[in-house]
Amino acid sequence: MDSIGYIGLGIMGGGMARNLVAKGFDLVVWNRTPEKMAPLVEAGAAAASSPADLAGRCDVILICVSDTADVEEVVLGEQGVIHGLRPGTVVVDHSTISPKATLALASEVAERGGIWLDAPVSGGSEGAERGTLAIMIGGDPDAVAAVRPILEAYGTSINHVGPTGSGQQTKLVNQILVVINGYAVSEALIFAKAAGLDLDRVVEAVAGGAAGSWMLSHRGPQMIERDWRPGFTIDLQQKDLRLALETADELGVPAVGTGYVFQLYRSLQAKGLGGEGNHALVKALEALSGIEL
């Protein structure tokens, strides 16, 4: 069986790595903050001393770190993957990063005989933990087929969408849908509150019809209960909207709704709320309306 390496054991990477170990894969892990490797090592994984060390021991390398510069650091940095990469290794990037920078990373890896797949995920911390993520992949179809059994350890919807970069572009499509849907849920609940309706009953009444959505059913009740714990933080959400707006600019396409939600999230970051869950978007509308859910 291939030896698999996992770089980045945060909320998402940690959950995916735990699923791999639980399903019997031979796993090597590396995390910048070494303490986060301990539970995985206890569960049976081996710890690497750097991304380069991990690359020298693995045939498939999975990455899930925060932003574009962080992927560049773990791949191209002084101790980066590139310095240990073996020819034929498939590098799968599960982080959400710039589609443009992805092309440059893929070509650096290809120059050393590796294959890059951009494979961002959706489904939140719950999806990573339960192994039910949606994975959208750009890159070589044969490489996608080769790693599919590994991705099935934590993904239930695995789609090859096109060439390198198209996985990241698809994830930005996903994020546009997520935030505008989150905005719709927020505005609808403020309206319901203003009308004096029972919010729990309203959600139940509309969730099964054409207005139903994952965002309404999962985050609507959290908004009503004022539970702002993050599945996905406002700061990370803003990072994705920045990428969506940059890419829309490169494409020359208007993204009015995305820009609007970006500014509302900015108002929450300015209040120090960037660490709260992205459903705290409703707080921006509470501030505009003077109505609290």
Q: State phi, psi for 97 to the nearest 5 degrees.
A: -140, -175
Q: How far is the CB of 36 from ligand NAP (least distance, A)?
A: 5
**Closer of 8 and 155 to ligand NAP (Cβ):** 8
The reply to whether 25 sits near ligand NAP by the rule CB under 6 A is no
Q: Which of 62, 121, 178, 189 binds ligand NAP (CB under 6 A)?
A: 121
Q: How far is the CB of 96 from ligand NAP (least distance, A)?
A: 4
The reply to whether 137 sits near ligand NAP by the rule CB under 6 A is no
Stretch that binds ligand NAP, among 101-109, 119-127, 137-145, 182-190 (CB under 6 A): 119-127
Q: Which of 48, 151, 161, 236 binds ligand NAP (CB under 6 A)?
A: 236
The reply to whether 75 sits near ligand NAP by the rule CB under 6 A is no
The reply to whether 232 sits near ligand NAP by the rule CB under 6 A is yes
The token pair that represents 229 in the structure block: 């714990």
Query: Given 23, 36, 100, 171, which residue is catalytic?
Result: 171
Q: Which of 36, 83, 130, 242 binds ligand NAP (CB under 6 A)?
A: 36
Q: How far is the CB of 198 from ligand NAP (least distance, A)?
A: 30
23 a catalytic residue: no
Residues numbered 78-107 forming contacts with ligand NAP, rule: CB under 6 A = 95-96
CA dist., res. 196 & res. 92, Å (int): 49
Would you give the end-to-end CA distance of the chain in angstroms? Answer: 53
**Closer of 118 and 286 to ligand NAP (Cβ):** 118
The reply to whether 124 sits near ligand NAP by the rule CB under 6 A is yes
Instruction: Give the other-Cβ count within 10 Å of 270's Cβ.
Output: 9
- Residues with a known catalytic role: 171
* Interface contacts to ligand NAP, rule CB under 6 A: 8-13, 31-33, 36, 64-66, 70, 73-74, 95-96, 121-122, 124-125, 231-232, 236, 240
